[in-house]
Chains A and B, each alone.
Chain A
Amino acid sequence: MAKILIVEDDKHINELIKRNLSLLGHNCISCYDGKSALKYLYGEDYDLILLDVMLPEISGFELMRKLDKETVIFVTAKGELEDKLQGLSLGAQDYIVKPFEMLELIARVNVVLHRQHKDSKIFQLGNTRVDLQQHRVTRNGEEVLLTPREFRLLEVLIQNRNIALSREKLLELAWGFDYQGETKTVDVHIQKLRKKLNWETEIKTIQKFGYRLHG
């Protein structure tokens, strides 16, 4: 659960990012131009700033130069190599080009938060507690034993919770790109997780698509 400032002048896109990240439990604050961003940043600390480059009056790059030690990901339509190089050399953690898929944004945000040690290590849902760092799951205080693969799948569901993931995507994220197997194995493992954690309703089946963790 991180505190994220979204600096994007297009209200709709700003809203879109905010809603998606909120699903993951992050606390998101929106602002629409550079000046108000500075005002927000002056008073408080943020775990992450999502910064657009094309802002009125003061560009994202200029704003970046005024920041110090902030964790920043650039989210912008300016996709030329020079722009990317400039953004990254100014000290940004990542540089995403619009248009992008939500899952990609979420994955990159997670990686950056993890790198900065600002991601939450514990996920709690009902009486189940998942320690992502120690790879332990407890239910009502009692440990639940999961195979490494099952845990990895659980981790993926948690990191993308409230968002539907296709079977192919789950396979890719939990088994890796090299895996040559069938998506049937995803169904099997989901079943196992449901049984072990008693999460029949929490892990929802999305018809003809995949699964979604509600939490």
Chain B
Amino acid sequence: MTFGYAGRILRVNLSTRAVSVQPLEETMTRKYLGGRGFNMRRLYDEIPAHLDGKSVDNKLIFGVGPLVGTMFPGASRFNVSAKSPQTGILGDSNAGGFFGPELKFAGYDQLIIEGKAEKPVYLLIYNDQVEIMDAQHLWGLDVWATQTLLHQELKDSRVQVAAIGTAAENGVVYAGIFTSLARAAARTGMGTVMGSKNLKAIAVRGTKSIKVADPGAFGKLINEIDRAIYEHREYPARALMGTTKLVHALNEAGCLATRHFQTGRFEDAEAVSGEALAETVKVKSKSCFSCTIPCSRFYEIKEGPFAGLKSEGPEFEGLAGFSSRVGVNNLAAALKGVDLCNRYGLDVITTSEVISFVMELYQRGVISRQEADGLDLSWGNVDTVLALINKINRREGFGDILADGVKVAAQKIGRGSEDFALHVKGLELFQADPRGLKAYALGYAVASRGGDHLRSEPSFEFSEDAQAGQKLYGHPDAAFRLKYHGKGRVVKHYEEWSALSDCLEACKNTIVNMEIVDYTMAAKLMNAVAGWNITGDEMQTICERVVNLEKVFNTREGLTRKDDMLPKRFTQEPLPADSGPSAGSVVELEPMLDEYYQARGWDVQNGLPTEIKLKALGLEEEARELKERGLLHE
């Protein structure tokens, strides 16, 4: 009997239509824990180096964790991983909602999709019954229509659906996989991979139970954790506004992405704030499966040109992406932008970057209206923003240039536009200006999937607790967002903590940002759930192993220190005077990189893992492979 884990891996080959179930290896659980950890192991073992992300040999891997489906608050998430067609390196995305638990209830810890179907199909999983179903009638439908139709056909509204929209069908490289309508595994083009396999959706229904080794001990821990969440100073803000609180919070700090990061303060932040949203269009709060914090919400627009729009969300990324980043000061319009991305199945961060990128090019006279299909690319033009989202979805006209991400768009446009393309390793950056957040800046530069804030989320730098900075990270400056010392160690710590969250498949907001679960608590949870006898230090080692395995994957793809960089805007252009507390800031990246590599035990010159470090983490085979490729140093 397995505790915590379902104990099974489901493998589906869409080319041969073969369906097989394999037992979950015990070594996998003890060395990689679950979710993201499982996925990274499979990715490394089964995806050859330099594989094209749209190749039929790419694999799409869904992973859930040992707490998913239990009463642990927010243990509702899943990771989906593949070789990224957008970045050409590690592809991985994470989403909440209800799909992850349902996959676990169906009896699977991991689902691996291989090959390519001849014609559009969807996968139907009902416990042990797994069928590849015709989906030609679904192809061409958006995410919402797909889910609605599947519920009707299957006559079961409790089926959880992970679907792609038309963006993935059309090969937009930053298409995501969406569940529960608005829960997005959006980054790095995992939807694009799914679309390249002619796989429209995965519908899963599970009725099995999840066994816990020591229910009494687990229950006590849950009570303790729930109490800690309710009593946390952040609970009211997260329950009332979720991540939308960040619009005003970052704006006041002078690091809200405004008009493509040309400044850090948006003069119309009030109109598009989480507060305005809560006061005017919010209907009620909503939470993910088993979560104590109802940080999401349903909203409805009742008047104006977008009257009738109703949905779940948005998160901060979409809200700021289609407001401050593109200069739009209309809340309903911003919500419409997010809604379109949800329906088409697009990554809001990348979509908002490519649009704000061309708006800046237009502002600077680099591109004309004519080459943008006649669109007026002035800041704040709502019609243009929405038109571009539509064009990107269809890969139509100017939208086709933008549909491969900002790095490729800049290459196609040329004329010096590469200097304004804001990405790291081909992945576009989120809505907070790194010049005002030095640890986040470092995190962007080194994140294993590219310019990403969720690989680390080093929120300690907001604490202003100099004593804690000294004690935990060796320097008081570690606790201040505009300072540098200690940030390498902060990022290392938060990368591994975020990996813990992703391996357990519980929410980073509670585990990391609210610091509810540290390694000691995580060990107690796993001992109660899985019947282990593991320590906090061993849990930390698992997380460090996952991060290092991802580094090995990317090293095999040819990445070195030179790729751990930031766009020139952030390292050379100070935030302007109107950015308040962050005015004048740039990012001095190199010293932070040095400190980070040292903290990691990696080679400071080339940023690569060392043989000593990999062997210490039990990655001897990986070390040998890198050595054979001439990529490893002592």
Query: Is B truly associated with A?
Result: no
Q: Write the residues of chain A forming the contact surface with B, with a CB cutoff of 8 angstroms.
A: none
